[in-house]
Chains A and B, each alone.
Chain A
């Protein structure tokens, strides 16, 4: 019985691989030309990409349903579009990839509008204006302004605006995490000295869960949160902007905001 394997050799295998790769590239032409709005209207569903682990903006409640501020905003937008919203939870670092490959139609997940992200996706006008703050353990008074983090271990979410803010300080020992629970936990256990996150999220977490932490600075960076849409959907972005403006004007937006936060929304 002939059990030998390598009669032909590497070059032949390599050639075959190249042919397969060429075929794959040839299929690029088949990519669908359907716009996001057309697809939403056709299917009657607006698929929303979010983390699902970021209370009170988006999280899974006790009944295993997606809930939170972003979810209420999404449902209201869907209602005004005459469709229903469907929620897909994934980790932060995959949100933009999923939008670009049509896994979901919009990202409504507290994503700040930045120049860098605007190169890969289009943003609506902001639907939340908020700010990043420093958070430390409750008995720690070392951090009152951004420059104080120099020389300390700073926890932030990977690929967030908080990471950019942290990295702007020379000498800060910046450590990145997937979810904000992870670095908040690290702060509580003492493996981090300070973290940077959104003021609304942190205020809610500290109060709701009684975390032994405190917000220790004013706003160190303003975040303008937008809805992200796949590039080349100007009609959809314009429509979303119109819906957001209507929601703010008729008071629906304020109502949703105050359901989750004890504060007046910046957007009036």
Chain B
């Protein structure tokens, strides 16, 4: 117990890195996911195939392999990203692919009549998407977005393999010194759980808010 308290400041500091990685990747991932979903639904030639290949590759390969590739791949071509940006890039590309499917499902679940009604009001396809369809789809997409975020929060632990001192790597570093894996991993697990729970609470509030007129 004493060791858990002693190591708490260092682990808490590393948790900030974990939250930062998750938040930055989620922000980028949301943008990637929405754009990908829109391109695929609009069936834009070439682009929509690229996006389909992107989603298929990301979903079909392990995140750990993607992280290694983003970190160790580009330097072979004389272009290299620092560990934290590499981690954020890999995580955003990953979560973006999953989110694009959430968005696609949510957008497609908006009744067809909505688009037809928008057309009769003289809206173009993209105006209707922006003002009628996408806003309605957000409510449907929210639970799966929340799910993705909590998954992402824990996936950040994989970034420890590319020298980023986030919560898991910090735990291993402390274990190397103290030889107390049980205590340290339990403390780390508790911190992950606290972060996820705090987020779940925020998500609940948001969901209630966007559903209040339904």
Contacts and interface: CB of A to CB of B under 8 A. Distances in A.
B50 A211 contact: no
Interface in B8-63: 10, 40-41, 43, 45-46, 48-50, 52-53
A88 B112 CA distance: 55
A101 B52 CA distance: 31
Interface stretch (A7-15, A112-120, A138-146, A258-266): A7-15
Interface stretch (A57-65, A148-156, A168-176, A245-253): A57-65
A89 B75 contact: no
Contact of A179 (B78, B112, B172): B172
B175 interface: yes
A53 B79 CA distance: 29
Interface in A24-49: 24, 27-28, 30-32
Contact of B53 (A13, A102, A184): A13
Given A53-B176, A94-B161, A181-B176, A30 B78 contact: yes
B78 A12 contact: no
B158 to A, nearest CB: 12
A25 B79 CA distance: 13
- Tell me the dominant secondary structure on chain B's binding face: helix
A242 B56 CA distance: 53
Nearest to A66: B173
Nearest to A2: B43
A16 B173 contact: no
A5 B176 contact: no
B163 A90 contact: yes
A268 interface: no
Contacts of B175: 53, 181
B162 interface: yes
Contacts of A8: 45, 49
Given A1-B112, A91-B161, 15 more contacts: A13-B52, A16-B46, A28-B76, A31-B76, A54-B176, A55-B176, A60-B177, A61-B177, A94-B161, A97-B72, A98-B72, A98-B163, A179-B172, A181-B179, A211-B179
Interface of B: 10, 40-41, 43, 45-46, 48-50, 52-53, 72, 75-80, 108, 112, 115-116, 161-163, 165, 169, 172-177, 179, 181
